[in-house]
Amino acid sequence: MNQTEAWFTELLHKQGITLTERQLQQFDLYYRLLVEWNEKMNLTGITEREAVYEKHFYDSVSLSFFLNLNETRRLADVGSGAGFPSIPIKICFPHLEVTMVDSLNKRLLFLKHVIEALGLEHMNCVHGRAEDIARMAEHRDRYDLVTARAVARLNILNELCLPFASIGGQFAAMKGADPASEVDEAKNSLTELKASVQAIHHLTLPYELSDRHIVIVKKTGATPKKYPRKAGLPAKQPIH
């Protein structure tokens, strides 16, 4: 085990996640594929092993420090890009059924390769805009948990992500150092979309020490039929 794997294993263990040899190998292979494919396509600005494990892997898994993922079955990751947060979460919680949605097909080609290489099961890659996918019966109101990291501001994300969640389900927005203004700006979108902020959790990355917040939104009623609006509109004219 190298130094990076040692601290990663120890920090996750402290959070109640005990990684097996196979899971550590899956993270290692994911790291190597990320760096290899990053030479052909833009997947990440971070390539040094230590930094990827901290800013991508640990940051992604941190969601499970605050939510009981053992009780979650269906997870949708909107704007999953190179697989964050869904792939690290899936490696740690293999029972999850995960759907990853992204509008960039070449990123999905990477994800499909990762899924195959790591031997991950019950993974579904969906190419398209969240606005369109969330209107399909097989995805609307169907997920216990919806995640999004680095995709858009919260008022836009609420419209893109909440339609995927079941009534009573949650949407976790992974945010940076100061989500207060976004949360404030998102108030009307929450009312419109029948949801409310349940909690805002704070964590600090272990070495780089930057602050992160996870905003947990609970869907309390069915998403009105008019949402999400036509692709592009949520970002162009956010609910305000």
Nearer CB in complex with ligand SAM: 18/237:
237
Q: Is 102 in the site for ligand SAM (CB under 6 A)?
A: yes
Phi, psi of 53 (to 5 degrees): -65, -35
Which residue sits closest to ligand SAM, CB atoms considered? 81
Q: Is 157 in the site for ligand SAM (CB under 6 A)?
A: no
Q: How far is the CB of 14 from ligand SAM (least distance, A)?
A: 24
Q: Which stretch binds ligand SAM (CB under 6 A): 24-32, 147-155, 162-170, 219-227?
A: 147-155
Which of 24, 29, 104, 200 binds ligand SAM (CB under 6 A)? It is 104
Q: Is 228 in the site for ligand SAM (CB under 6 A)?
A: no
CA distance 215 to 225: 24
Q: Is 215 in the site for ligand SAM (CB under 6 A)?
A: no
Q: Which stretch binds ligand SAM (CB under 6 A): 12-20, 95-103, 183-191, 202-210?
A: 95-103
Please give the DSSP secondary-structure letter assigned to residue 162: G
Q: Is 151 in the site for ligand SAM (CB under 6 A)?
A: yes
- Beta-bridge partners for 204: 211
Query: Distances in Å between the alpha carbon of 44 and those of 23, 175, 179?
Result: 22, 17, 23
Report yes or no: 56 and 85 within 8 Å, Cβ to Cβ. Answer: no
CA distance 213 to 231: 27
Q: Is 111 in the site for ligand SAM (CB under 6 A)?
A: no
CA distance 79 to 224: 22
